């Protein structure tokens, strides 16, 4: 059919019923909106907890890394593949074991390794000494 033309086979009674239904719906909507509002509701305090307590909502970024995650690899997108000498591997295992003994909870290998890695970055003088022992100056 062309735009702007009417359907010659359409039922005029249906159009009248639709108009009546639409007008009754709009009247219902108007009556719903005229109900008195609860004047005791505090609009500014929607997010406040009852009894005026000072608790607030927080997100996971407020928590320490190990507490705020679901999996040990959460937020660890960068992979640092590290090839090490046998004696370094042995020392890493011993260091992880020693760290694990300091905590009652389970300590993941990935957490221990990253902490040891960061500790080395915070103590560059120690890293420099090791590099000199390995012959970096030669």
Does residue 128 lie in a domain region? Answer: yes
* pLDDT for 129: 96
Whether 91 is in a domain gets the answer yes
* H/E segment holding residue 29: helix 12-33
DSSP code per residue over 49-61: PGGG-------GG
Cα 131 to Cα 137: distance, rounded to the nearest angstrom: 8
Is the pLDDT reported for residue 53 higher than 80?
A: no
Is the C-alpha dihedral spanning 114, 116, 117, 121 positive or negative? positive
Asked if the structure places residue 36 within a domain, the reply is: no
Query: Could you tell me the residue range of the domain that residue 125 belongs to?
Result: 71-138
Task: Pick the more confident residue, 14 or 125.
Answer: 125
In a domain, 109, yes or no: yes
Residue 11 lies in a domain: no
Which parts of the chain fold into alpha helices (H)?
12-33, 86-102, 109-122, 124-133
The rounded distance, in Å, linking the Cα atoms of 76 and 107 is 16
pLDDT at residue 76, as a whole number: 72
Report how many domains make up the chain. Answer: 1
Of 70 and 25, the one with more pLDDT: 70
The residue with greater pLDDT, 51 or 88, is 88
Average pLDDT of the residues in 1-19: 58
Whether residue 14 lies inside any domain: the answer is no
Q: What is the mean pLDDT of residues 97-121?
A: 90
């Amino acid at each position: 059919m062309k735009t702007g033309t009417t359907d010659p086979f359409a039922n005029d009674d249906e159009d009248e019923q639709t108009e009546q239904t639409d007008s009754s719906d709009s009247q219902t909507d108007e009556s719903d909106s005229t109900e008195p509002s609860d004047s005791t509701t505090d609009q500014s305090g929607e997010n406040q907890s009852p009894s005026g307590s000072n608790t607030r909502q927080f997100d996971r970024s407020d928590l320490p890394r190990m507490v705020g995650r679901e999996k040990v690899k959460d937020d660890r997108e960068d992979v640092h593949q590290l090839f090490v000498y046998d004696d370094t591997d042995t020392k890493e295992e011993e260091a992880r074991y020693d760290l694990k003994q300091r905590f009652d909870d389970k300590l993941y290998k990935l957490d221990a390794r990253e902490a040891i890695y960061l500790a080395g970055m915070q103590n560059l003088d120690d890293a420099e000494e090791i590099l000199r022992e390995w012959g970096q100056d030669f």
